[in-house]
């Protein structure tokens, strides 16, 4: 750390200069590539122009040869008179002089006015060239002076063959050398730009450097001829053979005419702008290097002061981290736009999640806190949006390990620049130990209540047994009196009194079972028809609630089962579940009872309602004195749980939520082999 700024500054300086040199080199390559591409395009256009010029001359020669072929045959033996060629089709700007010679070399027609009367070219090199070669391809000769003037011209000749294939003569066309480079006459060329048309024997036919024209230079053995021989369509960097200026050259050969064209751009002209910018880069690199060294010195001077501040901050963070761990506290943040939670490392640890998985969606959170937890969070968010301020709520969390913990959450809103709510952040504290202590305190109080309730229940059971016995005796006497009289109406009264006596007997049985349950008595387990017990419980419930418009539907998924259970306790459990279902439903209550086979020789009975579901966890629902009803004691499901477990079964909440609640219990099935 002590030498870090110095090492970093040296590294920065090195990187700066590496960048400077790399940038200069890069721009040089770009400039060279651009110049080479431009030069290649220029030489291709130059080649096309020269080709079209020569093809035009060749076309004119073909036209002349066809017009004067009969004259060539007639004039083969005698010297003919020279004719004047006057054709508008041959008055092209580039064609300075057109002549026709017979196979003896005598001039027979020309565009020169007045025409010379005696001219023979039989011994000329260009004529001898056509004598030895029967090709009618255009032949390009070196620049020479015109016959009628002192002007230098390029001689283009074409052999004319007769019908039998023998030579009838030649057509010669003279053009000015500048015509081969005139396609650039309106172009802005640098004074060092160069274009040339060169014969393959090394003689320049036309050369333009800037705006200066020349021709006839001998380039045999020079670099340009060596590179043309090596690659007829290539590009190279080298000095010019005449002025020694280093240029990027591109050349292309026209093999049918025995010539090639070349174009060159000065290397100094190409790299000049890059070298000018390079000076600025070097100055900038020097300034950056100086600024970097000054910054390194300032960093070194201020390092000790910053180090002391960092030590204090680290100590404060350590104390805060320890305090959070002691208080079992973690922090979180919620992004409203992304709908994403970001947890601290401590919070991930408390929720048994890897610290790398600190980003959670709403779905991830709902798997931990359930739908009621998500609803509490949404309510806090709406409160923050509407009123702002601090929001607090508690959650029951089921961890991945199955453990249930209780959390106290504090949240405040995050606001944007325009005052809109962007999300929330806050703390999450584990209050499970406090909740456990509170639960223990409640259980101590509930045990006291339970003892008092046992005394009250024993007293009520004892006091009610005597009037119920007396009422049963009165009913029996009345039935005997009515039975001795032969009156049809008496039979109806006897049936009604019999039903009343059965209900009094059932009430007495319930009181006796309550006394046994409070004391040390055991349930009366016997073989019973489960379907008959369910029908009896439904009948009793509907009779006890005539104005509720309740509809209880019994669904038997299996055949009528014979089970080992106490019928009175089964009816008591079903009646308790029916009452809870009725109170949970608001409009047109609909309750269903279904029977199905379970595992381990058990038969399962399920009661389903269409209410909003339980707001607490399953353990809280089945615990004593837990109720969500105003004025309720909270012992109904707890008593049902005790009764079922006493008969060898169990009770559980199978489903709860907005779509309704299903509570199931199981009883042993009768087995003939047991």
* Predicted confidence (pLDDT) per residue in 595-630, tens digit: 888 888 889 999 988 887 776 444 455 654 445 554
Q: For residue 78, is pLDDT > 90?
A: no
Q: Are 566 and 525 in contact (CB under 8 A)?
A: yes
Check if the beta carbon of residue 555 is closer than 8 Å to that of residue 531.
Answer: no
Q: What are phi and psi of 396, to 5 degrees?
A: -105, 120
Instruction: Tally Cβ neighbours within 10 Å of residue 124.
Output: 17
Angstrom CA distances, 574 to 570, 625, 631, 657, 664, stand at 6, 19, 21, 21, 10
Where would I find the beta strands (DSSP E) of 34-114? 83-84, 97-102, 107-110
The confidence band for 664, taking pLDDT boundaries of 50, 70 and 90, is very high
User: What gap in Å lies between CA 618 and CA 545, rounded to an integer?
Assistant: 28
Vertex 519: Cα angle to 516 and 522 (nearest 5): 45
> What's the pLDDT score for residue 94?
64
**pLDDT at position 253:** 94
Q: Average per-residue pLDDT in the chain? A: 80
Q: Report d(CA 403, CA 432) in Å as an integer.
A: 11
pLDDT on residue 516? 57
Confidence at residue 515, expressed as pLDDT on a 0 to 100 scale: 61
Residue-wise DSSP of 543-598: HH-TTS--EEEEEESSSPPEEEE-HHHHHHHHHHHHHHHHHH--SS-EEEEEEEE-
Q: How far lies 224's CA from each of 211, 254, 260, in Å?
A: 21, 16, 11
Name the helix (H) or strand (E) containing 413.
strand 404-415
Q: Could you please report the per-residue DSSP string of 416-446?
A: -TTS-EEEEEEEEEE-HHHHHHHHHHHHHHH
Q: Would you state the pLDDT for residue 248?
A: 94
Q: What is the DSSP letter of 257?
A: G
According to DSSP, the β-strands at 551-556 and 167-175 are unpaired
- 472: which 2 tokens? 């049963």
Q: How do beta strands 602-609 and 590-597 pair?
A: antiparallel
Residues of the chain with pLDDT > 70, as a percent, come to 82
pLDDT tens-digit readout, 95-113: 778 888 888 888 888 887 7
Structure tokens at 218: 């001998």
- Look at the block and give the residue holding tokens 């020789």: 601
650 and 669 Cβ atoms separated by less than 8 Å: no
| Rounded (10°) angle between helices 432-483 and 488-518 | 150
- SS3 (DSSP) at 209: strand
What pLDDT is attached to residue 89?
Answer: 60
CA nearest neighbour of 501 among 481, 482, 519, 475: 475
The pairing of strands 551-556 and 590-597 is: parallel
pLDDT of residue 632: 43
The tokens describing 652, both together, are 């559980």
pLDDT band, residue 633 (cuts 50/70/90): very low
CA distances from 670 to 548, 565, 573, 605, 609 (A): 36, 10, 20, 15, 29
Please list, residue by residue across 252-289, b when 16 or more beta carbons sit within 10 angstroms of its beta carbon and e when fewer do.
Answer: bbbeebebbbbbbbbbebbbeebeeebeebeeebeebb
Polymer length of the chain: 674
More confident residue, 319 or 273: 273
Q: Provide the terminal-to-terminal Cα distance of the chain, rounded to the nearest Å.
A: 83
Q: Residue 306 class from Cβ within 10 Å (0-12 exposed, 13-18 middle, 19+ buried)?
A: exposed
Tokens found for residue 154: 């390029």
Joined tokens for residue 182: 């005139």
When pLDDT is cut at 50, 70 and 90, the band that residue 586 belongs to is low
Dmax (CA) for the chain in angstroms is 177
pLDDT of residue 72: 66
For 14, left (φ over 0), alpha (ψ -120 to 50), or beta? alpha
Q: What is the pLDDT of residue 91?
A: 62
For 321-353, what is each residue's pLDDT tens digit?
A: 777 777 678 888 888 888 889 988 888 888 888
Q: What is the pLDDT of residues 46-64, one digit of tens each?
A: 899 888 888 888 888 888 8
DSSP 383-410: HHHHT-S-EEEEEEEE-TTS-EEEEEEE
DSSP bridge partners of 665: 605, 651
d(CA 206, CA 142): 10
User: Token match 């419930």: residue?
Assistant: 541
Query: Is 88's pLDDT higher than 90?
Result: no
Residues 6+ apart with CB under 8 A from 334: 340, 341, 342, 381, 423, 424, 425
Q: Residue 617: its pLDDT value, please?
A: 46
Statement: the pTM of the whole predicted model exceeds 0.85 = no
pLDDT of 635 reads 63
CA dist., res. 414 & res. 385, Å (int): 10
Give the per-residue pLDDT at 517.
53
pLDDT, tens digit (0-9, with 9 covering 90-100), for 245-265:
999 999 999 998 889 999 999
Inform me whether the pLDDT recorded for 176 exceeds 50.
yes
Please give the distance of CA 560 from its chain centroid, rounded to a whole number: 59
pLDDT digits (tens, 9 = 90+) for 132-152: 888 888 888 888 776 656 678
Residue 437 pLDDT grade (very low, low, confident, very high; cuts 50, 70, 90): confident
The structural domains of the chain, ordered by start, are: 1-293 (3.30.450.20), 329-430 (3.30.450.20), 435-521 (1.10.287.130), 523-674 (3.30.565.10)
* ∠ Cα 179 183 187 (to 5°): 130
Please tell me the predicted confidence (pLDDT) of residue 77.
Answer: 54
> What pLDDT does residue 119 have?
82
Tokens standing for residue 493: 């009264």
Encode pLDDT of 462-511 as tens digits.
667 667 777 777 777 777 777 766 666 677 777 777 777 777 777 776 66
- pLDDT band per the 50, 70, 90 thresholds, residue 519: low
Spatial separation of the C-alpha atoms in residues 568 and 513, rounded to whole Å: 9
Q: Is the peptide bond before 641 cis (omega within 30 degrees of 0)?
A: no
Query: SS3 letters for 276-343?
Result: HHHHHHHHHHHHHHHHHHHHHHHHHHHHHHHHHHHHHHHHHHHHHHHHHHHHCEEEEEEECCCCEEEE
Weakest mean pLDDT among 246-250, 543-547, 554-558 = 554-558
Question: 34: pLDDT confidence band, cut at 50, 70 and 90?
Answer: very high
H/E stretch holding 368 reads helix 362-386
Residues 6+ apart with CB under 8 A from 310: none
| 419-422: long-range pairs with CB below 8 Å, 24+ | 421/336, 421/381, 421/384, 421/385, 422/335, 422/336, 422/337
């Amino acid at each position: 750390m002590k030498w870090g700024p110095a090492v970093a500054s040296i590294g920065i300086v090195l990187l700066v200069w590496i960048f400077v040199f790399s940038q200069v080199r890069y721009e040089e390559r770009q400039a060279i590539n651009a110049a080479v591409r431009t030069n290649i395009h220029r030489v291709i256009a130059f080649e096309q122009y020269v080709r079209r010029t020569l093809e035009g001359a060749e076309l004119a020669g073909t036209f002349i040869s066809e017009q004067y072929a009969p004259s060539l045959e007639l004039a083969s033996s005698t010297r003919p008179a020279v004719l004047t060629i006057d054709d508008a089709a041959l008055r092209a700007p580039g064609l300075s002089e057109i002549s026709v010679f017979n196979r003896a070399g005598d001039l027979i027609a020309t565009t020169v006015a007045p025409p010379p009367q005696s001219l023979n070219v039989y011994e000329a090199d260009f004529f001898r060239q056509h004598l030895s070669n029967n090709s009618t391809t255009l032949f390009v000769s070196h620049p020479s002076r015109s016959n009628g003037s002192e002007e230098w011209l390029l001689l283009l000749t074409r052999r004319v063959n007769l019908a039998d294939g023998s030579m009838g003569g030649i057509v010669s066309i003279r053009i000015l050398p500048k015509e081969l480079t005139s396609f650039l006459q309106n172009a802005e060329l640098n004074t060092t730009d160069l274009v040339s048309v060169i014969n393959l024997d090394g003689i320049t036919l036309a050369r333009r450097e800037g705006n200066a024209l020349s021709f006839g230079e001998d380039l045999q053995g020079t670099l340009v001829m060596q590179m043309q021989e090596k690659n007829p369509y290539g590009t190279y960097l080298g000095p010019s053979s005449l002025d020694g200026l280093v240029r990027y050259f591109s050349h292309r050969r026209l093999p049918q005419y025995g010539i090639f064209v070349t174009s060159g751009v000065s290397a100094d002209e190409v790299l000049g702008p890059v070298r000018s910018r390079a000076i600025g880069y070097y100055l900038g690199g020097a300034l950056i290097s100086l600024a970097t060294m000054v910054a390194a010195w300032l960093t070194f001077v201020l390092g000790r002061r910053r180090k002391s501040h960092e030590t204090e901050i680290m100590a404060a963070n350590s104390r805060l981290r320890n305090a959070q761990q002691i208080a079992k506290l973690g922090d979180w943040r919620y992004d409203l736009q992304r709908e994403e939670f970001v947890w601290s490392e401590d919070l991930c640890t408390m929720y048994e999640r890897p610290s790398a998985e600190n980003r959670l969606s709403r779905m991830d959170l709902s798997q931990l806190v359930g739908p009621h937890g998500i609803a509490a969070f949404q309510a806090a968010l709406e409160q923050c949006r509407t009123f702002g301020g601090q929001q607090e709520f508690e959650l029951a969390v089921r961890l991945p390990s199955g453990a249930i913990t209780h959390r106290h959450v504090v949240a405040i809103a995050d606001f944007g620049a325009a005052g809109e709510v962007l999300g929330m952040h806050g703390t999450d504290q584990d209050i499970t130990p406090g909740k456990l202590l509170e639960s223990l305190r409640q259980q101590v109080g509930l045990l006291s209540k339970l003892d008092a309730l046992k005394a009250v229940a024993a007293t009520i059971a004892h006091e009610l047994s005597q009037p119920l016995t007396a009422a049963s005796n009165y009913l029996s006497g009345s039935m005997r009196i009515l039975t001795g009289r032969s009156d049809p109406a008496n039979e109806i009264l006897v049936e009604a009194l019999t039903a009343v006596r059965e209900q009094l007997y059932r009430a007495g049985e319930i009181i006796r079972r309550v006394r046994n349950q409070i004391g040390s008595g055991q349930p009366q387990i016997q073989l019973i028809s489960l379907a008959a017990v369910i029908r009896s419980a439904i009948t009793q419930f509907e009779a006890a609630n005539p104005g509720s418009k309740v509809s209880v539907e019994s669904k038997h998924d299996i055949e009528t089962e014979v089970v080992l259970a106490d019928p009175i306790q089964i009816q008591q459990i079903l009646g308790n579940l029916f009452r809870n279902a009725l109170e949970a439903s608001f409009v047109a209550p609909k309750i269903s009872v279904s029977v199905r086979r379970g595992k381990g020789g058990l038969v399962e009975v399920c009661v389903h309602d269409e209410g909003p579901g339980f707001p607490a966890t399953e353990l809280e629902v089945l615990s004593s004195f837990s109720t969500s009803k105003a004025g309720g004691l909270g012992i109904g499901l707890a008593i049902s749980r005790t009764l079922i477990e006493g008969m060898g079964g169990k009770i559980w909440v199978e489903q709860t939520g907005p779509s309704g609640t299903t509570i199931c219990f199981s009883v042993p099935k009768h087995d003939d082999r047991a």
